[in-house]
A and B are shown apart, each in its own frame.
Chain A
């Protein structure tokens, strides 16, 4: 019988996805408040910096042994989501 450890750090991926959600909603809110204006794109770029900073902090605090660990993969999905969200502001 396998030993099912219960020391998986589920908090780190959950927090990473929360950061993605907050980043996404703020970017969208900016695009609604400033429709078709460059300021919405600048806000997107600026907000991406703290979002990526939060990811870096999560990497430091969490049990991120590699990107294929659960916390690592959670952060990876969130980072991909954040960069994906930034893309329309840069090239869209």
Chain B
């Protein structure tokens, strides 16, 4: 999908648009999921499950979700810019007008390489859980493993341009990425040694998951070693775009993700199926896949060295490639045989159930094996160790008989305990949304909005967007319900408040994470602006006047002040008192000031003669302005929603979740507006 091949000239029709909007849609879905995971892992753990007792999979998912929040905005921006270029002729990637095709590669690979670890880390978390069970001992180096996950997450953001060694980057730049590519093998190595040490310390029971776990370690190490080889620039130049890379990536992904997923399927299948899968067939599946993998991909290292390019459907005869490619083809059929045998066993044995499952076949020690029905456990246990089921044999019975927290509903509604992020101490009772048609309506019409855009059915897309918005707001209406009961006894004499606002609330964390996502989009857009300036400074024009910039900044600072004042007015009221319309009016004034600022900013640039179709500068500046305009529009809708709730008397002092969310979003929009306006107006300046 690299420009210029994906420009309208070389890819006419809607195929590319379909792909771009599809990618954008799925990335937004992934980000929404990541925010859920971050807040879920940090705020809804069982009481007593401190960070140091958290299952490795939960750690892996936390790092994975944070990586999504940082990495995915880059590809959202990339797809958005390419779509803007195709739809409106804004030349982000057209070098003739001050754009640069390599900008796409930077934006894509800033997402693309961390994505490899985003695929790998959840599987690594599963591996750490399964290794302990198959070896019948605690994971060796639990804390080192956590450190390795965090370090992998960090360093994976310093390797994106190793996919661009052949693009002619400055020599020192390639050196930096080469160094980081080798450094990332340090934390990966720590994890592998922890797994090996665990297997060595325990007594392995050679079940099917054990075979897949041990096999995946070997395969992943082989892929990792070739990864260090291609991290070296001269070597990469030789094998770039050859079958050596195909072999490397398959060893990494099959060893790092596919084999662990097969192990996990066998391991956790008993949770939802009446029957465990066949151990005998499972061993056949493993050996067929393991053998097939090496027969397929090991020869590809050689074919790559011999010059066989990737992404071709055939090759010339008499180049010495025939035999090795034939071996690879045979290996692929062997892998397929293993997968078919797995599917056959699945069809034969898997029977979905919520009550009569096969259970904890391999003897795992973590909480997912507590007895559950359709709606999770009868009561929420107090966690005292990393493998509670191994350390407390009675815990299953105690949980099932409701001897722990929240055995019954306190308020008559669905509810869960929100705990503190580090020590998992109960903080408050959160009321969960009940059954409702509105979420499914929101999901269907959000999908319709994006799908209609892909086929350029703009009128229907607008209609679907409005309906999706109505569904979301109607759904939200139920989530911030006033409730008479102020506190709840959740068990063991612990009394907690019901639904709170501020930094202790889970909503505060979720909104902060969303702000990080939006901030990353702006950060990458500003990077694009500066990058294009660095490539083609001659097409840059002077920005509008400094007094105008100061005026816009003043409006945005006033908007920020209005948002803060709104919350202060509400906070000054006694509990349960209606503060009148002042709080929401202040919020609405803040949103209006944001609107005035973006209008002034937009018309200022237009007046200065900047045209989004004329240059890379115009395209990036107006892309930033368009993003800010969308943010302001959302802030405006939120302010109107707040006004409607206030009009119905639902906004009472001294604090309110809806108001808290709305004014903090308005405040964020003001800060984002300041960043967008000041950077492009002051740099590079006149």
A: residues with CB less than 8 A from B are: 1-2, 4-6, 8, 10, 13-14, 17-18, 20-21, 24-25, 27-28, 31-33, 35-36, 40-41, 44, 70, 73-74, 77, 80-81, 84-85, 87-89, 92
Contact = CB atoms under 8 A, between A and B. Distances in A.
Contacts of A32: 170, 173, 531, 534
A66 to B, nearest CB: 13
21 contacts: A8-B51, A8-B143, A13-B151, A20-B155, A21-B158, A24-B158, A28-B173, A28-B176, A28-B177, A31-B170, A33-B534, A74-B147, A74-B151, A77-B186, A84-B180, A84-B182, A87-B175, A88-B174, A88-B176, A89-B176, A92-B175
A44 B173 CA distance: 11
Contacts of A80: 183, 186
Contact of A21 (B154, B171, B182, B534): B154
B50 interface: yes
Interface stretch (B367-375, B384-392, B598-606, B675-683): B384-392
A43 B173 CA distance: 13
B154 A17 contact: yes
A64 to B, nearest CB: 13
A17 B67 CA distance: 14
B109 interface: no
Q: Which of A20, A41, A84, A89 has the most CB of B within 10 A?
A: A84
Interface residues of B, number: 38
Interface of B: 50-53, 143-144, 147, 150-151, 154-155, 157-158, 161, 170-180, 182-183, 186-187, 384-386, 391-392, 422-423, 531, 534
Contacts, number: 105
B385 A77 contact: no
A2 B147 contact: no
A2 to B, nearest CB: 7
Smallest CB-CB A-B distances: 7 pairs: A88-B175, A92-B175, A35-B170, A84-B179, A17-B154, A6-B50, A31-B173
Contacts of B180: 24, 81, 84-85
Given A74-B147, A80-B183, A1 B158 contact: no
A4 B50 contact: yes
A80 B158 CA distance: 14
A10 B154 contact: no
A85 B171 contact: no
A87 B51 CA distance: 36
Given A20-B154, A40-B172, A81 B143 contact: no
Given A77-B186, A81-B183, A84-B180, A89 B172 contact: yes
A45 to B, nearest CB: 12
Contact of A81 (B144, B155, B161): B155
A89 B50 contact: no
B171 A36 contact: yes
Given A6-B50, A80-B186, A85-B180, A92 B172 contact: yes
Q: Is the interface of A mostly helix, strand, loop or mixed?
A: helix
A1 to B, nearest CB: 5
B486 to A, nearest CB: 30
Contact of A77 (B151, B176, B178, B392): B151
B534 A4 contact: no
A13 B172 contact: no
Nearest to A36: B170
Contacts of A87: 175, 179
A64 B178 CA distance: 30
A81 B151 CA distance: 10
Contacts of A44: 172
A57 B385 CA distance: 34
B236 to A, nearest CB: 14
A85 B172 contact: no
A21 B51 contact: no
A32 B279 CA distance: 56
A18 B144 CA distance: 18
Contacts of A35: 170, 173
B50 A41 contact: no
A44 B386 CA distance: 43
Contacts of A18: 154
Given A1-B384, A32-B170, A17 B151 contact: yes
Contacts of B154: 17-18, 20-21
Contacts of B186: 77, 80
Contacts of B384: 1
Q: Which of B179, B186, B423 has the most CB of A within 10 A?
A: B179
